[in-house]
Amino acid sequence: MNTTANGKEFAISLLPEKDIKIIIQHWIRIFNIKLGWINDFDKLVAKYAKYFQLLKILQGHDKGISSVRFSANGRKIISASLDKTVCIWDCITGQQVQTFEGHFNRVIIAAFSPNGQIIASCSADQTVRLWDVNSGREIAKLEGHSDWVWDMNFSPDGNNIASCSTDKTIRLWDVNSKKEIRKLEGHASGVLGVQFSPNGQMIVSASTDKTVTLWSVQSGERLKQFIGHSDFVTRAQFSPDGQFIVSCSDDKTIRIWNVEIGKELKRLEGHLDGVNDVKYFPDGQTIVSSSSDETVRLWDIKTGNEIQKLEGHSDWVKCVDINKRIFIKNYLNTLIQLVYCIFVSCYSDQKYFNSKKDLSWISQIKSFNNKNNIILIKM
């Protein structure tokens, strides 16, 4: 079922009456209590997170897939593969719409710029490459690393890229000039993951030296080092508010760190093999992880408990990513804006598992839905 307003289609969820009443009840409460029901709702998020379900399986690469990322507008997925290519997929149709070739070794990570006009990819060929989305052409080859480049990340404003390598360095690049602007050194061995903070002022890195490190973008200075993992740290990510870092490791654990005090706050255990990737959901209350144990798992940050285990891959699950899509849904003639979240996972079985959940929020307005009653409409 759908409805049209100003030429656009909006998603309408067909919920049981009791669920609609609960949603309206919580929605109305925000007019009376600005902050008081947020903790209450966190319990609902944990309860209803178990309603993830499989949406699509996208296939097309000739070899294993090493990463998947969403575009900022949520309409496309970009994938990097051991077949040396980067591909763009349409989220709605599941069709492969573009392929980029140029790397001469496996591509490890590929990502859209914040404005969606440029793609960056990094590879075992020791380069970071920039591609123009509209023309499909390579526009720059960033050279400087002396070993495999394991990860790269656009700054929030899209003006810079941070990359990291087995050569133990993190390098900052200017997207416009295509030049290296800074080299960060301090890890004792290879660096596997790198990410800008939400405000773009810091970088967090994950290393095979078993540490997570915080860096100043402006000075290149090492600000903090988080020690606790007992094996390679494969990924480290900031929370949406930048106050926390979540890291994952070959030691099979996920750890949450307080940025300000530099201490471990929580350890999440349950994976049976190394954890390859971890991401925060937009609400900052839920984490999704992927592992070499062939599973994707969801975790409640507050309790540290596993919410759900998603199975289906037949090999390592190397990467996960989370996307937000905005819909307008109409309940009893009352308009409520929701953020519709989906995530993808991938690796050596050469396919993506595209799962969905209505983990919805607007600032501090949150609602939930039942998996069996959501209709996805192309806007």
* Span 70-118, pLDDT tens digits: 898 888 889 998 899 999 988 778 788 999 999 999 999 999 999 999 9
Q: Say what the pLDDT of residue 53 is.
A: 59
Q: Is the pLDDT of residue 11 over 60?
A: no
The CA distance from 237 to 54, in Å, is 25
For residues 320 and 344, is the Cβ–Cβ distance under 8 A?
yes
Write down the H helix ranges in the chain: 17-32, 38-48
| DSSP per-residue string spanning 115-168 | TSSEEEEEETTSEEEEEETTT--EEEEEE--SS-EEEEEE-TTSSEEEEEETTS
The CA distance from 283 to 260, in Å, is 20
The more confident residue out of 175 and 42 is 175
Q: Say what the pLDDT of residue 281 is.
A: 87
Residue 334 dihedral angles phi and psi, to the nearest 5°? -115, 120
The CA distance from 236 to 232, in Å, is 11
In 3D space, the residue among 149, 143, 88 whose CA is nearest the CA of residue 117 turns out to be: 88
Sheet with 334-347: list strands edge to edge: 53-59, 351-357, 334-347, 317-331
Kindly tell me the burial class for residue 75, based on how many C-beta atoms sit within 10 Å of its own C-beta (0-12, 13-18, 19 or more): middle
Find the mean pLDDT for residues 221-243.
Answer: 97
Find the mean pLDDT for residues 126-139.
Answer: 97
| DSSP per-residue string spanning 174-240 | ETTTTEEEEEEE--SS-EEEEEE-TTSSEEEEEETTSEEEEEETTT--EEEEEE--SS-EEEEEE-T
pLDDT digits (tens, 9 = 90+) for 55-66: 667 777 888 788
Residue 19 is encoded by which pair of tokens?
Answer: 């669920």
In 3D space, the residue among 327, 247, 326 whose CA is nearest the CA of residue 287 turns out to be: 247
- CATH number for 56-328+339-362: choose from 2.130.10.10, 3.40.228.10, 1.20.1740.10, 3.20.20.70: 2.130.10.10
In 3D space, the residue among 290, 307, 276 whose CA is nearest the CA of residue 345 turns out to be: 290
Q: Say what the pLDDT of residue 344 is.
A: 55
Q: Say what the pLDDT of residue 353 is.
A: 42
Q: Is the pLDDT of residue 167 over 90?
A: yes
- Least confident range from 207-211, 243-247, 350-354, 363-367: namely 363-367
Q: Say what the pLDDT of residue 29 is.
A: 43
Compute CA 303 distance to the chain's CA centroid, rounded to the nearest angstrom. Answer: 21
pLDDT digits (tens, 9 = 90+) for 311-344: 766 677 888 888 765 433 333 333 333 333 455 5
The CA distance from 354 to 368, in Å, is 20
Give residues with Cβ within 8 angstroms of 147, minimum separation 6. Answer: 126, 165, 166, 167, 190
**pLDDT band for position 171 (50/70/90)?**
very high
Q: Say what the pLDDT of residue 24 is.
A: 42
Q: Is the pLDDT of residue 229 over 60?
A: yes
In 3D space, the residue among 129, 127, 104 whose CA is nearest the CA of residue 119 turns out to be: 129
| Most confident listed range (94-103, 178-187, 304-313, 347-356) | 178-187
Q: Which helix (H) or strand (E) holds 372?
A: none
Give the residue carrying structure tokens 């990340």. 153
Find the mean pLDDT for residues 124-132.
Answer: 98
Domain ranges for the chain, please list them.
Answer: 56-328+339-362
The CA distance from 268 to 257, in Å, is 12
Q: Say what the pLDDT of residue 271 is.
A: 96
Instruction: Give percent of the chain with pLDDT exceeding 90.
Output: 54
